[in-house]
Structures are given as C-alpha cells and as structure tokens.
Homo-oligomer: A and B are copies of this chain.
Amino acid sequence: MSNLEKSAKNGVNVDALLAARAALTQAPEAAQFKWRATSQWLNGTHSRTTISDFHGLGTEQKHRQNFQFDTDHPEIFASEDNGPTPVEFVLVGLAGCLSAGIAAVAQNRNIQLRSVKATLEAGMDIQGILGIDEKVRNGFDGIRVHYDIDADATPEQIAALVAQSQKRSAVFDVLTNPTDVHVTVSKAK
C-alpha cells in the first residue's frame, strides 16, 4: 500500500530524522554526542542521579527539565528499597530504546501501531557480586525480552520491525558488546 492510500500516525517525525541523517552525513563532527549524568551518594546503598545536559550537533544541549532518579538495594539485602536496583535501570533503558526504534521503523514503513508492550527478565547469580564464586560473573547471565505488538501488519512484518529496531538500538549494542569504562578518583578537599 502506498503513502497515498494510508498514512500511519505513530507520532514519530520520520521526515525530520531522514533530514538529520542527510545533514549529519555532510557534517559527521555534529554526530559526536556526549551523554552525561551526575550522581550523589545519600546513605547506605542509596544514591540520587541527575540527568540534565548533553552535547550534540556541535554544541551544548539541555533537556527540557532535569530528571532525578534514586537507586537503592531491596530490603532483602538489608537496604531500604528507596528506588530500583541499578541493574533494573539498565532494563528500563533497553525497553525504552527498543520500543522507540520499533515506533520509528513502523512509521518509516507506514505501519500503524496500536499497542507495543514489552516484558523483560534478566537472570543474575548473585554469588558473583557477593564474591562467593569467582567463576560467576557479576552481571546478568542473559536477558529475555518479549514484545506483544498490536499493529496493522502481518506477524512477519511485526517481527521485522523488532528485528530492525534491534539492529539500530544503542542500548542493545551496549549490552551485547563490550564498552570501555574508565574510572578515575580524587579525594575531595
């Protein structure tokens, strides 16, 4: 079906994204982004992290508002459960990234989405973080994501949306491939 016969409305401005792609192809230095967070320890395992500014398109950028998030450990770890665990925030990022990609790809393919629901589950053997067994990794032993999607499309077209989103997802890449994390420390005066 052509765009004349039907126009999907998924709320993604694909024309703007295609224009950005064309512009950045001519100016690759503008494609260099820096995402940032600042964090403050409160007490015990409880910290608060702020998301405010970032760098991109060659200049400093600000979110419309500052966002703050508390992380903590649950009561079964003798903590106060003042927020999700840090690892659960990683799942928030994965869900949000894949779903945004699904909407963008659906818009580009003129497929109307009606609902997109994801359930995520990540296994972890906490013998790793507790230092019981050096052979057990600290992180997830795997992540399963299941999408339930209601859309004006065949099951095969819906599966292809998700596959294309995975192929271009930043968080999917961050999880499935190694990233260098460089940590430095100074003693506050």
Residues in A171-189 with C-beta less than 8 Å from chain B: 171-188
A142 — which chain B residues lie within 8 A by C-beta?
A: 179-182
Least Cβ distance of A103 to chain B in Å? 6
- Inter-chain CA distance A69–B94, complex, in Å, is 12
Interface centre among A96, A140, A172, A188 (most CB of B within 10 A): A96
Q: Mark A69-93, 1 if CB is under 8 A from B, else 0.
A: 1011111111101011111111111
Query: A130: which of B20, B132, B180, B186 is its contact (CB, 8 Å)?
Result: B20
A85 — which chain B residues lie within 8 A by C-beta?
A: 35, 96
Q: What residue in chain B is nearest A15 (Cβ atoms)?
A: B78
Residues in A1-44 with C-beta less than 8 Å from chain B: 10-13, 16-17, 20-21, 24-25, 28, 31-41, 43-44
Least Cβ distance of A4 to chain B in Å? 23
A155 — which chain B residues lie within 8 A by C-beta?
A: 185-187
- Inter-chain CA distance A42–B164, complex, in Å, is 20
Interface centre among A25, A46, A95, A114 (most CB of B within 10 A): A95
Residues in A110-165 with C-beta less than 8 Å from chain B: 113-133, 137-151, 154-155, 158-159, 162
A115 — which chain B residues lie within 8 A by C-beta?
A: 40-41, 188
Q: What residue in chain B is nearest A180 (Cβ atoms)?
A: B142
Q: What residue in chain B is nearest A93 (Cβ atoms)?
A: B89
